[in-house]
Structure 1
Amino acid sequence: MTTDGALARLIRSSADRTATAEAEACDLCAAPVAGDHAHLYDTAKDEVHCACGPCSVLFDRGGAGDGHYRLVPRRRIRLPRVDTAVLGVPVGLVFFVPRADGTVTAQGPSPAGAMRWEVDASAWQRLTETCPQLAGVEPEVEALLVNTVHGLDHHWIVPIDDCYRMVAVVRREWRGLSGGGRIWPAVEQFFGELAERS
């Protein structure tokens, strides 16, 4: 075999390994997953994990895995304006996650990740009375995602993985102390894509 042939084979092999390493895989069985794959929420670690089709089927019922992993729903519902001021959160880009224990957390993106604080549970209950669709938000795996920055009026019930994607967009695009000029167009694009996926 020629040296050129061995080198070409080595380069191809290295490229194949790099492509395989960059491809997403199921966090349970390591099988490759498609671009639009399911996610599981790890209740113990408060993390989202990729799941292939067969593994996600294992968790499509609430009691599977003793509740350690929960299948993240895929529904996205645009709501009419929701008066989130009653929740006492002073930021315009935020998501609210009801928890299984009855508490509700608010999380806002920042250059360091998601800032988190607890919301008054009775205020959340009052909000669900004015917007009954919020009563159906699945604890821990769905959220109310709000964007009222720059006069926008986005209120969505979304899967929790969409919220984490939004946090990643903010972290990726943030520049300087105030975020810079790239962050808000990127956030608006995120919400435009959310509308396309709903």
Structure 2
Amino acid sequence: MSVDGALARVIRSAADRAAAAGAETCELCAARVAGEHPHLYDTGADEVRCVCGPCSVLFADDGSGQGRYRLVPRRRLRLPPVDTAVLGVPVGLVFFVPRSDGTVTAQGPSPAGAMRWEVDAAAWQRLAATVPRLAAMTPDVEALLVNTVRGLDEHWIVPVDDCYRMIALIRREWRGLSGGGRVWPAVEQFFRELTERS
């Protein structure tokens, strides 16, 4: 059995045990995890998985996982406004993820989850040439998070788990066709609570 196959089996087994217990646990070893804990990005499933501190050490500096499992970094960096209109994505609340294969995806939240677009990789490269911090993003696990909705002008480099947390927040708070009265204040609160960290 390959290392990837064995690791995937362990992750599925741990996830099954966690679901049965109803507690948030590491998806590798099934140990309980704290409210704020590390995450792994599963490149094969395009999903973020919870891990405990000790298991996360295995994936630091591209250690284990043969590239399939990547440790999501903790870095958050506020940027000055970035002209993302050149990327051709017609929404004001979106995140852009450069991928290991050279492609770039954009995802915007909706009441049904994330809408996804492919971004012209050449347009991304031109933008990254003008904003060097974009060129330094870690593929697959860091995102450019943009919010220009309702008068905001927020631009951040964040771990992808922050983006998925935002999508979950919107799905939870959305009401009716327009989102209702709770979703946009919740999004604004989400951005107010973002803090820079290295």
TM-score normalised by length of structure 2 = 0.87
Query: Displacement of 1:63 after TM fit?
Result: 4.7
Task: Provide structure 1 residue ranges, at least 5 long, that are not aligned to the other structure.
Answer: 1-19
Query: Displacement of 1:62 after TM fit?
Result: 1.6
The answer (yes or no) to whether the contact 2:78–2:196 under 8 Å persists in 1 is: no
Query: Displacement of 1:192 after TM fit?
Result: 1.0
Q: 1:127 to 1:49 in 2, by over 3 A?
A: same
Matched with 1:5 is none
SS in structure 2 at match of 1:180 = coil
Distance 2:47 2:31 in 1: 19
RMSD over aligned CA atoms reads 1.4
Query: Displacement of 1:197 after TM fit?
Result: 6.5
Equivalent residue letter for 1:183: V
Matched with 1:37 is 37
Structure 1 residue 83 corresponds to structure 2 residue 83? yes
Identity %: 79
Structure 1 residue 188 corresponds to structure 2 residue 188? yes
Query: Displacement of 1:151 after TM fit?
Result: 1.2
Equivalent residue letter for 1:112: A
Query: Displacement of 1:195 after TM fit?
Result: 2.7
Correspondence 1:129-140 to 2 at 5 A: 129-140=129-140
Matched with 1:114 is 114
Distance 1:41 1:63 in 2: 14
Distance 1:37 1:194 in 2: 16
Query: Displacement of 1:83 after TM fit?
Result: 0.4
Deviations 1:50-81 (A, max 9, x none): 00011000000225211111000000000000
Matched with 1:72 is 72
Largest Rg, 1 or 2: 1
Matched with 1:157 is 157
The answer (yes or no) to whether the contact 2:76–2:196 under 8 Å persists in 1 is: no
Moved over 6 A (4+): none
Equivalent residue letter for 1:91: V
Task: Provide structure 2 residue ranges, at least 5 long, that are not aligned to the other structure.
Answer: 1-19
Distance 2:63 2:124 in 1: 26
Query: Displacement of 1:92 after TM fit?
Result: 0.3
SS in structure 1 at match of 2:163 = helix
State how many pairs are aligned: 179
Distance 2:184 2:81 in 1: 20
The answer (yes or no) to whether the contact 2:144–2:156 under 8 Å persists in 1 is: yes
Equivalent residue letter for 2:183: I
Deviations 1:22-76 (A, max 9, x none): 4310000000111111000001000000000110000002252111110000000
Distance 1:122 1:63 in 2: 31
Matched with 2:3 is none
